[in-house]
Amino acid sequence: MPQATISLHDKQFAPYLPARQIADSIRELAVRLNQDYAGRQPLFVAVLNGSFMFASDLLKELSIPCEVAFIRVSSYQGTSSTGQVQEIMGLTEDVQGRDLIIVEDIVDTGHTMQALLATLNARNPASLAVATLFLKPECLQHELDIRYVGMEIPNDFIVGFGLDYDGLGRNYPDVYKAV
């Protein structure tokens, strides 16, 4: 059962999505990925820091042979996107001719995802897909083909399950929204 409210820095957050609902959504995504990538060996590219919990739980649900790698990018400061993507820690694996699946915690404006897709497409993968736990369709500022979406949510600022507010809140198993 989620805590009633939590305080992070100068904001209050109320319960929004319980861990059980998140787990159900991840299992549904894994079923689709297992079907779509049967007979293949994709490389999952988890975007740090936010996707670590999602990536971990998703990979545990997969029955296909797969690999995982990590990339760290940033476009957030506080509660809003800066609009500028900075690659902090790059992908070292050779991805040419590989099936890649980007694992992201949340896609809102799409700035980060658009830059990441362009960077990875330039490395000539066999295929490139996105799996995101959360999508904020009303925030999107780019046309993106996001094939695997756990949940579409409104434009609320959320924390928990890997998502943070200036470094705090990632550790909560449930998701909370700012009030």
Region of 169 on the Ramachandran plot (φ > 0 left; ψ -120 to 50 alpha; else beta) = left
Q: Which residues have a catalytic role annotated?
A: 108
Virtual CA dihedral for 28, 31, 32, 37, nearest 10 degrees?
150
| Dihedrals phi, psi of 48, to nearest 5 degrees | -85, 150
Q: Are 120 and 97 in contact (CB under 8 A)?
A: no
Amino acid 86: pLDDT: 62
Domains and CATH numbers, the chain: 12-178 (3.40.50.2020)
How do residues 146-177 score in pLDDT, each as one tens digit?
Answer: 999 999 999 999 999 999 999 999 999 999 99
| Helices 52-61 and 19-36, axial angle in degrees (round to 10) | 60
How do residues 70-121 score in pLDDT, each as one tens digit?
Answer: 998 865 555 555 556 666 577 889 999 999 999 999 999 998 899 899 989 9
Cα separation, 142 vs 107, in Å, equals 11
Residue spans of alpha helices (H) in the chain: 19-36, 52-61, 111-121
